[in-house]
Amino acid sequence: MGTAKKFFSIVLLTLFTLSLTVPSFTAAQTDQTRLISQYDIRDIQGHWAESTLQNFVYSDALSGYIDNRGVATIQPNNPITRAELVTFLVRTMGLQSDLPGETYRDVPANQWYSEPIRIASTLGVVSGVGDGLFQPNRLIQRDEIAALVVKAFEKSVNFSGEPKHFSDVPAYWATAYIDKASAAGLIGGYGNGQFKPSATATRAEAFTMVSNALNRELAALPSDQSLTDVVLNQEIDSLTMLQRKDFSHVSELTSKYCTGFYSAFMQAASDTFEQMDAEGYSFDIIPSGRPTATIVLKTDRFAVVQLKEKYDLIMKKDGEQERETRNSTSLMLLKKMPGEDSWKIYMAVPQEDTTGR
């Protein structure tokens, strides 16, 4: 029973504190675990922008390229087109508009990027290049990204800081945008005092500029309670589901509280619990008091909440019983759902776990 019990403890801990990363999850290969594998992006491991890119992947703001072997990649060092960045920005910020927007001769209505470009142009975030063209497939330049990000976050980010003066930025159309972006800390340039405004940007560089802006949005902060309620209610409802072995409601629970990686994981963990129940394992979880949730940081669209809890785990099979007491601390990562006034958990980072018998 020891091996199965150890595995059960790992799955339980993951369900409550999300303490496993994608590669170490070993549940049965269901459709949900295949979904989880799509969050395992191998080509960003060790990359200078790994944490930023992984965070976007876990929150479903960024999708990987899936090859014919089912391997997901982000290709962080590849360049990025104007259409790709606009689409990413619109999706991440949840931008919406019902207005017609600008009409560009090279943006057909049936293209994957046509709707994001319409929305962004309607809101004044992007503009064409003249002569009725947008050039969606042209590689975007660093000065264009600075302009795009400043326009998109003008109302939610404070741009009143001291701008950096780059030796290679002349007085031209993008100067004011580059000044604002550097003043707010969205861009830093290169170590030689240059910004290289006309150079194309890599995907990692572009996504990092957007991440820097998202991390500085402080204009419409959520209340502490709106965030802690999501974390605590999700924990309590998950515990109730486990205690009752009522796995039929897992989809409803994940839809209410979860998104991104965490949603896929919860579904897979539920499948694992059902499988163990069918194999004759009996388990009980006894909380020791209520879990606590504390705000670590929050911005307009993202937040981190520290979750602390203590519980006893009792597992039985074939007349054997084992009991453990667990104290765990995790950082629960939440995002504001685009187009909604609700927050959901998309991932967490384990901080501490102690086990006693």
- State residue 102's pLDDT score: 86
Q: Which residue ranges form the domains of the chain, and what is each CATH number?
A: 2-31+221-356 (3.10.450), 42-214 (no CATH)
**For position 68, what pLDDT does the model report?**
81
More confident position, 236 or 294? 294
Distance, CA of 201 to CA of 206 (rounded, Å): 6
Q: Is 50 exceeded by the pLDDT of residue 21?
A: no
pLDDT score at 355: 58
pLDDT in tens, 29-85: 445 555 777 888 989 999 999 999 999 999 999 987 888 887 889 999 999 999 999
Q: Which residues pair with 314 in a beta bridge?
A: 284, 323
- Angstrom distance (rounded) from CA 112 to CA 98: 18
Average pLDDT over residues 329-357: 85
> What is the reported pLDDT for 259?
94
- The distance from CA 194 to its chain's CA centroid, rounded to whole angstroms, is 31
The token pair that represents 26 in the structure block = 């070993």
Tell me the pLDDT band of 356, cut-offs 50, 70 and 90. low
Confidence of residue 16 (pLDDT cuts 50, 70, 90): very low
Pairing of strands 302-317, 282-287: antiparallel
Mean pLDDT of the chain: 86
The amino acid sitting at 272 is T
Is the pLDDT score of 279 beyond 60? yes
Note the pLDDT of residue 140.
Answer: 97
Predicted pLDDT at 115: 95
Q: Which of 3, 16, 4 has its CA nearest to residue 326? A: 16
d(CA 207, CA 213): 10
pTM of the model: 0.85
DSSP-derived secondary structure for 204-233: HHHHHHHHHHHTT--SSPPPHHHHHHHHHH
Give the integer Cα–Cα distance in Å for 101 and 104.
10
Residue 24 has pLDDT above 50, yes or no: no
Evaluate whether 310 touches 289 at the Cβ level (below 8 Å): yes
Contacts of 204 (CB under 8 A, 6+ apart): 47, 48, 49, 52, 53, 76, 77
